[in-house]
Amino acid sequence: MAEVKVPTLGESIVEATIGQWLKSEGEAVESGEAIAELETDKVNVEVIAEEAGVLASIVKQAGETVGIGDVIAVIDVGATAAAPAAAGTAAAPSGVTADAGATQQPAAAGTVPAAQPAPAASVAPATPAPLGVRATPSVRRAALEQGVDLSQVQSGRVELAHLAARTPAAPAGGSTASGSAAAAPDANASRPDEERVRMSRRRITIAKRLVEAQHTAAMLTTFNEVDMSAVMDVRKRRKDNFKEKHGVGLGFMSFFTKAVVGALKQFPRLNAEIQGDDMIIKHHYDIGIAVATEGGLVVPVVRDADRLSFAGIEREIASLAARARENKLGIEDLQGGTFTITNGGTFGSLFSTPILNAPQVGILGMHGIVNRPVAVNGQVEIRPMMYIALSYDHRIVDGSEAVRFLVAVKQMIEDPESLLIEG
């Protein structure tokens, strides 16, 4: 037998949640094959079998919290999976002996068969999952207890939560099989038109960290607006040649990343963090780019953004965003950022106050581009305008620094040629 343990998950991560089992008890497992998925506060990690054999037992079920080194399953090394039972027959569960002389007679019409006493300590066999449907032993047992036919479930993985909607309704009259009255409804239960969904570990961690950021930092936000005419003109003229030459589109993020780097060089305390009574001012520029995924917001990091060209930044952002949405980011992709950029404009946001990504002390929020009337040289013109917001930690960043930082970003975006010098 070989124990399957929770692997080391990365710096500062000491526990995880069993997200789902990719194998069920009794299934064959190959060496190097993923058998379970762990949810951490940053990424999801697959647990890989180091030995080939049969998954003998699952020690930790989906939804349970586990620590580094915890045993979550046992593999019977070298064993082979048992062949499925022939049609119409079912193997007796381990430890339970069938009575060879006992036969079950159908009840006469209109009569109720006498209740048969259950053998002491007997265990009801779990219903086998049909071909194409994956269900853990606990799900099979729940299906049997609730009278759910797994053969009627569409192909895919069946979770305990899915069985609730398929549980047969109670008999008319509200009585149970034994004739006793049904239990009173739980006062804390949700209404029929409400759904209770357990938050994922990532969502729980996001919630905790956002609240911590609000409680530990003296967070303020300052705002400005940017005329995007010049950047949009550059993109219009250059985007086709840029994509043909570099194989990636020329987006707004490379302009803002360059502008942020240039502004951070002018105001270095926005590229710092607080450790006790010290400020750690960083002279490297690892810019986090917030990416919305199905599981929640993640912030992968573009390393050494000051050393990358526009094409290099665009390629790195595209790669990180794709891997984030495919849940393929590694722990190292999310650690060590010095400043963050978030773009709510992709979802239509016009104005917002971004929350700090601790322990960073600054975050820039981009928003939607809207044609608005503005005064230009004494004349009213329609220009594509964007509101930008800088949230900062007032413990080490003064208001004047924050305002001038945002003005520097604004000036570089409105004069893209300056990005070649400042960024």
CATH homologous superfamily of 203-422 equals: Chloramphenicol acetyltransferase-like domain (3.30.559.10)
Q: Which residues are catalytic?
A: 394, 398
Regarding predicted confidence, which is higher, 308 or 96? Answer: 308
Closest by Cα among 282, 263, 277 to 395: 277
Give the separation between CA 301 and CA 332, rounded to whole angstroms.
Answer: 9
C-alpha dihedral sign at 220, 365, 316, 205: positive
| Lowest mean per-residue pLDDT among 150-159, 241-250, 299-308, 315-324 | 150-159
Residues ≥6 apart with Cβ < 8 Å to 319:
none
* pLDDT at position 389: 97
**What's the 3-state SS for 28-57?**
EECCCCEEEEEECCCCEEEEECCCCEEEEE
pLDDT for the residue numbered 109:
42
C-alpha to C-alpha distance for 150 and 131, rounded to whole angstroms: 10
Measured in degrees and rounded to the nearest 5, phi and psi for residue 265 equal -65, -30
**pLDDT per residue over 252-271, tens digit each?**
999 999 999 999 999 999 99
- How far, in Å, are 19, 163, 215, 392 from residue 358 at the CA level? 26, 40, 11, 11
Rounded average pLDDT over 11-40: 81
Predicted confidence band of residue 363 (pLDDT cuts 50, 70, 90): very high
Q: What is the DSSP letter of 367?
A: -
Give yes or no for residue 116 having a pLDDT over 70: no
Give 2-81+127-166's CATH code, choosing from 3.40.50.970, 3.90.1200.10, 3.10.310.40, 2.40.50.100. 2.40.50.100
Distance (Å, whole) CA 214 – CA 66: 29
Dig out the tokens for 231 from the structure.
């950047």
Strands (E), 2-147: 2-5, 15-21, 28-29, 34-39, 44-48, 53-58, 65-67, 71-77, 133-135
CA distances from 401 to 269, 285, 408 (A): 9, 18, 10
Q: At 206, is the pLDDT very low, low, confident or very high (cuts 50, 70, 90)?
A: confident
The token duo for 131 is 């071909």
Q: Do the beta carbons of residue 209 and residue 42 sit within 8 Å?
A: no
Domain ranges of the chain: 2-81+127-166, 203-422
Q: Which two tokens stand for residue 215?
A: 């409680």
224-240 pLDDT, tens digit each: 999 999 999 999 999 89
329, 333, 338, 340 alpha-carbon torsion, rounded to 10° = -20
Supply the pLDDT for residue 82: 67
Name the band, by pLDDT with cuts 50, 70 and 90, for residue 241: very high
